[in-house]
Amino acid sequence: MIAAALSSRWNGGTRMSERAFWRRYGRVEHERLEFKASVRHLGESVVAMAMTRGGTILVGVGDDGRVPGCRIDQETLDRVSTLSDEVQVDLRIDTLAIGGVTVLALTVPAVAPRVVTTPDGRLLRRVGSTNRPLRGDAVLRFLHGRTLATEAGG
């Protein structure tokens, strides 16, 4: 079901210069922005962002600020679709054409008050540009704080 929703949101692509790309997204990773070279290791970032405030993962952008792009093919889309299904987060996929290469922009929604975990059961949150595990009493405090924020409308 999630894979079908993901496929129905496919966007054919937005063209922009590299300068416009950096102006739009910024050059620094933070709580709501992650750069990934490929779709291979997205799970932790998807879960952490979904459990925090949501965000965008740009696939085809290196941590060093280079934009080598990524291949958009069936394998890439299947990996994203499978991950979306495994962690139960409905991702939106957009493609960006940046100076001759393609970047995959994955929009991760916040899932509060739901709880999602990595496929191996870890509960993560986003702190700055890192994905941090929640352990012990921190789990209860984090979930309680999210519940209060959701009830207050924020």
Q: Model-level pTM?
A: 0.87
Structure tokens that stand for 81 in this block: 């679709």
- Write out the two tokens for 106: 């994955």
Tens-place pLDDT, residues 98-119: 989 999 999 999 998 899 999 9
Residue 134 CB neighbour total at 10 angstroms: 18
- Is residue 1 a contact partner of residue 81, using CB atoms and an 8 Å limit? no
Average pLDDT of the chain, as a whole number: 88
**Full domain range(s) for residue 43:** 2-151
Backbone angles phi and psi of 93, in degrees to 5: -110, 130
Structurally, the chain folds into a number of domains equal to: 1
CATH number at residue 54: 3.30.950
44-98 pLDDT, tens digit per residue, is: 999 999 999 999 999 999 999 899 999 999 999 999 999 999 999 999 999 999 9
Residues 6+ apart with CB under 8 A from 11: 93, 94, 95
Instruction: Categorize the per-residue pLDDT at 12 as very low, low, confident or very high, splitting at 50, 70 and 90.
Output: low
Assign 132 a pLDDT band (cuts: 50, 70, 90).
very high
> Of 131, 42, 130, 142, which is closest to residue 85 (Cα–Cα)?
42
Question: Do you know the residue count of the chain?
Answer: 154
